[in-house]
Amino acid sequence: MDQGKTPLYTALKRHDAIHPFSFHVPGHKYGFVFPANARNDYEPLLKLDATELTGLDDLHHPESVIAEAQSLAAKLYNVEETFFLVNGSTAGNLAMIFAACGEKKKVIVQRNCHKSVMHAIQLAGATPVFLSPEFDEDVRVASYVAYDTIKRALELHPDAAALVLTNPNYYGMAVDLTEVVNLAHRYRIPVLVDEAHGAHFILGHPFPKTAVACGADVVVQSAHKTLPAMTMGSYLHFNSSLVDKEKLKYFLQAFQSSSPSYPIMASLDLARSYLACLTKDDVKKVAEQIRQFKDALAAIEGIAIVHSRQPLVQIDLLKITLQTRSELSGYELQQRLEREGIFTELADPFNVLLVYPLAVIEQMEQVVEKIQRAFRGLRYSERLLQSFHSFSFLPSANSISYRELQALPKKVVDLKNAEGYIAAETIIPYPPGVPLLWIGERICKEHIEQIEQLKRCHARFQGGKYLSTQQIEVYETVKIKEM
Is residue 22 included in any domain, yes or no? no
pLDDT classification of 404: cutoffs 50, 70, 90? confident
pLDDT classification of 87: cutoffs 50, 70, 90? very high
Q: Percentage of the chain surpassing pLDDT 90?
A: 87
Judgement on whether residues 126 and 196 belong to the same structural domain of the protein: yes
Residue of 275, 281, 310 lying closest to 201 (CA atoms)? 275
Of 238, 269, 300, which residue constitutes the final position of a domain?
A: 269
Judgement on whether residues 428 and 472 belong to the same structural domain of the protein: yes
Residues 260-290: tens digit of each pLDDT: 999 999 999 999 999 999 999 999 999 999 9
pLDDT classification of 476: cutoffs 50, 70, 90? confident
Is residue 30 included in any domain, yes or no? no
Q: Percentage of the chain surpassing pLDDT 70?
A: 96
pLDDT classification of 397: cutoffs 50, 70, 90? low
Is residue 82 included in any domain, yes or no? yes
Count of domains observed in the chain: 3
Judgement on whether residues 110 and 238 belong to the same structural domain of the protein: yes
Judgement on whether residues 322 and 238 belong to the same structural domain of the protein: no
Point out which residues pair with 106 in neighbouring strands: 127
Judgement on whether residues 91 and 187 belong to the same structural domain of the protein: yes
Judgement on whether residues 235 and 290 belong to the same structural domain of the protein: no
Q: Distance (Å, rounded) from C-alpha 476 to C-alpha 340? A: 48
Mean pLDDT of the chain: 94
Is residue 200 included in any domain, yes or no? yes
Q: Is residue 235 within 8 Å of 85, Cβ to Cβ?
A: yes
Residue 482 pLDDT greater than 60, yes or no: no
pLDDT classification of 130: cutoffs 50, 70, 90? very high
What sections of 101-220 are H helices per DSSP?
A: 115-124, 147-156, 178-186
Cβ-based neighbours of 332, under 8 Å, separated by 6 or more = none
CATH number, domain with residue 341: 3.90.1150.150
179 lies in which domain range?
57-269
**Which string of DSSP letters, residue by residue, matches 409-438?**
-EEEEEGGG-TTEEESS-EEETTT---SB-
pTM for this model (two decimals): 0.94
Q: Distance (Å, rounded) from C-alpha 41 to C-alpha 36? A: 10
Ramachandran assignment for 282, one of left (phi > 0), alpha (psi -120 to 50 degrees), beta (any other): alpha
Is residue 31 included in any domain, yes or no? no
Residues 101-118: tens digit of each pLDDT: 999 899 999 999 999 999
Half-sphere exposure of 105 (CA within 13 A, CB side): 19
Of 387, 414, 443, which residue constitutes the final position of a domain?
A: 387
pLDDT at position 140, please? 93
What are residue 35's phi and psi, to 5 degrees? Answer: -55, 130
CATH number, domain with residue 460: 3.90.105.10
Q: Distance (Å, rounded) from C-alpha 272 to C-alpha 6? A: 9
Judgement on whether residues 371 and 440 belong to the same structural domain of the protein: no
pLDDT at position 433, please? 85
Residues 215-225: tens digit of each pLDDT: 999 999 999 99
Judgement on whether residues 265 and 183 belong to the same structural domain of the protein: yes
Judgement on whether residues 96 and 140 belong to the same structural domain of the protein: yes
